[in-house]
Chain A
Amino acid sequence: MTKRESSKRTFEDLAEKLHQLNTGAAPDDIIDDAFVDALVEWLGPAESISSEAMHFAITQLQSAMKDGGRVAAIRREYSHAAEEKTFGQVMNEVRTKAGWNLATVAQKLGSETSLVDRLERDLVPLAQLTVRQWADLLELFCVRLEEFARFATRTAFAQALQKELGGAYARSRTAANSAQHGRELGHAIARAFPHRDKSANAPAGIDQTLIDRLGAELRARQRPDLLK
């Protein structure tokens, strides 16, 4: 094969793979060393990067590496203590032990401080965050998918409890302990603890679709360690 033919062949392979990527093929199935070599060759020499930009990227990566190690150590150390916790409580525990404030976490997640605050207080409904936002949280706080399912179930339960009991408690504070308020509180408790009340529906767990999609997102992010 002549050099020209070989070059044409490489180009055809690259064009075919780019077409596949463009039509939705997973990068994992397409991108290998040959693809990268061809792409880099066709795109030409890499542009030079200023020393400031290079220095900033190095510092940022070293800082991310240090944070990742610290969070993983905290999670390992306190994993036994997280058994009965909600996702927000785990977030709060890791954040305070890592010495981060709310703004630091918000910056790492690319979100707002108020969202982080509400997440820590379990005020954000699970369905309100996108799969990608949950994946960011799992990566940042080194939470495995199986742990997330447990924490999220507790979070959902805590939110249901807040919703059911919060209103009744607020109303009961505005007046004397009337029979009406007592009944309201009783009904709220019955709704909040349906497993104690056989007539009620089973407690709602978290949506399995969320877990499945989160698993797919973590796989796409090359994080099989968080799938265990």
Chain B
Amino acid sequence: MAKWLDAAAEAALVQGLRDRDPDAAADLVRLCLPELLGTARQSGLHDQDAYAVANEALERAVRAIDSFRPRPGATVRSWLFRILFNCIKSAARKEKRLRAHEVTGIEFGESAVDRDTEAVEGDPVVAPAVPTPITEEHVPAPIALAVVTSVLLDCMSPRERDVMTRQGHGMSDEQIAADLGIRLGAVRAARLRARKRAAEALKDIAPTLDETIQRRFRKLLN
């Protein structure tokens, strides 16, 4: 987890921004841009759009800095994230049909394309080639999906993660085997183990998940 500034350093940053100090602006960008950009990417925006949205959030924050009032449990960082989520919503409104993309590219759910003719029945499969459009109302859904995916990847061994992320990026078993320098059978075995682990982890957290997220992982839950 990234460490945020202590109260005194944050107050100095806010004062610098209020005084229109260019160095304070530079500090704000260095501190916050990576996290804002990462979250914007997870929300289903393309790299360029995510970069634009993260920058827009920073600009809006600087414009509104005189209105910022610190309160318990809400630092400049969370204030920036609130602005970011509003910017993401605006971007989604502008682009009615944004292409959803997952950072890992992994999907364990239905409607996927089984491109490997030798795939074992019931194996997890890769994301569909046609991107899913997202709407304004579902902006945080891709973020929730990315969070769940990270939980599932966390429970896997490094080898299983390597296999699953590569499969998620559309590589065939042969390509994965060649890329990792392992045998074809090892790729398939790793995938089966990953599926079992993911199913167990998912059962643990399933009751807390949104219905739309549960549907995406239906095969694993059954």
Q: Do A and B bind each other?
A: yes
A residues adjacent to B (C-beta < 8 A): 8, 11-12, 14-16, 18-19, 21-24, 27-28, 31-37, 39-49, 53-54, 57-58, 60-62, 64-66, 68-69, 132, 139, 220-225
Interfacial chain B residues near A53, Cβ < 8 Å: 51
Across the interface, B62 reaches (CB within 8 A) one of A11, A34, A65, A224, namely A65
Interfacial chain A residues near B121, Cβ < 8 Å: none
30 contacts between A and B (CB under 8 A): A8-B204, A11-B205, A15-B144, A19-B144, A22-B141, A22-B210, A27-B81, A27-B85, A31-B81, A31-B82, A32-B78, A33-B74, A36-B77, A36-B81, A43-B42, A43-B146, A53-B51, A54-B33, A57-B51, A58-B25, A58-B29, A61-B25, A61-B26, A65-B17, A65-B22, A139-B63, A220-B86, A222-B60, A223-B67, A225-B64
List B144-163 residues whose CB lies under 8 Å from chain A: 144, 146-148, 150-151
Minimum CB–CB distance for B83 against chain A, Å: 6
Chain A binding surface SS class: helix
B185 at the interface (CB under 8 A from A): no
Q: What CA separation (Å) do A15 and B211 show in the bound complex?
A: 11
Q: Return the 10 tightest CB-CB contacts between A and B, nearest first.
A: A46-B34, A27-B85, A18-B144, A21-B140, A15-B208, A42-B147, A222-B64, A12-B208, A62-B22, A27-B82
Interfacial chain B residues near A223, Cβ < 8 Å: 63-64, 67
Chain B binding surface SS class: helix
B residues adjacent to A (C-beta < 8 A): 1-2, 4, 17, 20, 22, 25-26, 28-30, 33-35, 37-39, 41-42, 51, 54-55, 58-64, 66-68, 73-75, 77-79, 81-83, 85-86, 90, 93, 137-141, 143-144, 146-148, 150-151, 204-205, 208-210, 212
Asked whether, in the complex, the Cβ of B78 is within 8 Å of the Cβ of A64, the reply is no
Across the interface, A31 reaches (CB within 8 A) one of B4, B30, B85, namely B85
Q: What CA separation (Å) do A29 and B123 show in the bound complex?
A: 41
Across the interface, B34 reaches (CB within 8 A) one of A35, A48, A62, A139, namely A48
Asked whether, in the complex, the Cβ of A33 is within 8 Å of the Cβ of B75, the reply is yes
Asked whether, in the complex, the Cβ of B20 is within 8 Å of the Cβ of A65, the reply is yes
Task: Known pairs A22-B212, A23-B137, A225-B66; list 7 more (Cβ under 8 Å).
Answer: A11-B147, A15-B209, A27-B86, A47-B41, A54-B29, A61-B26, A65-B17
